[in-house]
Structure 1
Amino acid sequence: MNGATSRVPAADRRAPRPGGADDAHDAWVADELTRAVGAGELDLPFPGGGDTRNRWRALRDLAERDLSLARLAEGHTDAAAILAELGATRPGPGQVWGVWAAHPPGAVLTAVPEDGGWRLHGTKPFCSGAHTCTRALVSAEVDGGERRLFAVDTGGTEPVEGTWACAGMAASDTLTVAFDGVPADPVGPAGAYVRRPGFHHGGAGVAACWFGGALALAAPLAARAARDSADVHTRTAYGAVDRDLHAAGAVLELAADGIDADPQDTGGGAALRARRVRAVVARVCGDVLRRTGEALGAGPLAADARHARAAADLAVYLRQHHADRDLAVLGGQAAGEEGDTHGLRR
């Protein structure tokens, strides 16, 4: 990011953007997201509503089709769940929502009370659907440094072009967004976004998207291993991939059942459950990414655009798990639990 970046005027925010060879795919993702929202296909069960397995299976299936599409769909469905949980007005017909709540070092977005309402000032990085979303839930700092969630109409925001350099997840339309006095409606009191039980339920649900991406990536290796001519090395590689994907799928379904059994987190296990799920699935997906690359070689990456995109997208999407940093938090929390720390003796 440098001084050469430019902002897209709000009036032109959803106009086609000039650029490289992936423009058609970018447009397909935006159009397919908008179509799916309008058709009600993303009206998924809320986490903890008794059907979390099917919610995550739907996200998994979207991710198996395309990870950028799944990323945007997950944001829209997460926004709907957050609005319901915090007692706010739910998405209206045709509205495409995002959740813009990243807080990396550097950029600061502040919420200031003005004229009986609130306005947002500053910049927010990692806003997926920057051009496509019509509404967004945005976290901002209020007086005293605490964070609060706000609903905004994205027509008043300005995506900052050039703030996503990576080919992976490019179609997720993830950019830094600038706010210059954008009107905002508070959603819940300060701190409510992270204190609600669904914060951890949603965090675990992201792993379902990673899982779907790994399934797509493994498909060419499965096809090669099924051939009569497949050698022992190919079949061994796919055997390891199948083993790990089976385990990750089981962990996701076990976690979904745990959420439905205690949606309000009365037992206090939601954070630990989410960290375990994310750690297991991220490790499996990373191993699938490595094993498929080693077993298949450069051929599919060079000749199969869908496979190459899936590999690039998954490598980036997995960075939502912060590797050893997240494992350190998990280790401290799990070690401090009394009794059955693995949840396997019940």
Structure 2
Amino acid sequence: MKPFHYLRPTTVKDAINALASAPNARFIAGGTNLIDLMKRGLVAPEKLVDINSLPLKKIEQKAGFVRIGALALNSSVADHTIIAAKHPLLAQALKAGASGQLRNMATMGGNLLQRTRCPYFYDTAFPCNKRNPGSGCSALEGINRLHAIFGFSEKTGPPTCIAVNPSDLNVALSALDATVVVQNTQGERRIPFADFHRLPGDRPDRDTTLEAGELIVAVDIPDAPFARNVHYFKVRDRASYAFGLVSVAAALDLDNNRIKTARLALGGVAHKPWRLFEAEKMLVGQPVSETAFRQAAEVAMRDAKAFEHNAYKLKLAPNSIRQALTLAAGIS
């Protein structure tokens, strides 16, 4: 790990200014991902701006939405009474996403920025477009068991990156139509969650639409009728802490066993959380039934494409969607 300067500002303004004054600087909070990247030599910031002293830890009900400060610990969010009452899907995703020790360190803002766990990204012996744009994607012809089945384009050539977003939190926030609140030297900017993470395109090195010098200050989740019929379903190689092969955030608003509104998002299948808008539309007005859930899963998988080692996801993903919907609806 290379030497770096360390600052600990106490105001949001000072933190943003500190980053703006050094082009190769990084914010650090829990550090559960950033420190790994630094140890492996994947990033080498000349300055670390520690933001843990900033007043960004509140979890509070506002008019029409819940605001979660960017420095709220994942454990605090998962166990908070407001989240349990209004957004249990979020609590389920957080508890599925990491060990207790990590949840006690990781922050909301940091979780949004988790980098992929693709082994070719972490191993500098292999070419990787995400690490070094233009060098190639080793996963295309390599061991791609964990990789994407959605969200890459071959219209202008081979995919530039088939790595997946590793965050369970991001999947739930996608389903819940969250908004990411950021600040920069010019003021505040609000980013709909659907626009926060990027597909690889011609810039696979960029995971989000954050601009240089911007600081995540909060996440807003609009009030919605998803306090009861929800389920976060995660399939992984082992029951203990592990990143998901496929995960599903499912939320239903039911009226006399008929679906008024549905929210669905997939994890472990794309460069960003993969929202299933067409499947949601198909479910509206349908009675709760295995038939409706099977049809929704079929709609969800229309554009999926597998590679040599991850073809199992073409079966695992729709099965997981059906299971998540079944559990969310309370069908035994």
TM-score (ref. length: structure 2):
0.28
**Structure with a larger share of its residues in strand:** 2
Judging by fraction of residues, say which structure has more helix.
1
| Relative contact order, higher structure (CA 8 A, sep 6+) | 1
TM-score, normalised on structure 1? 0.27
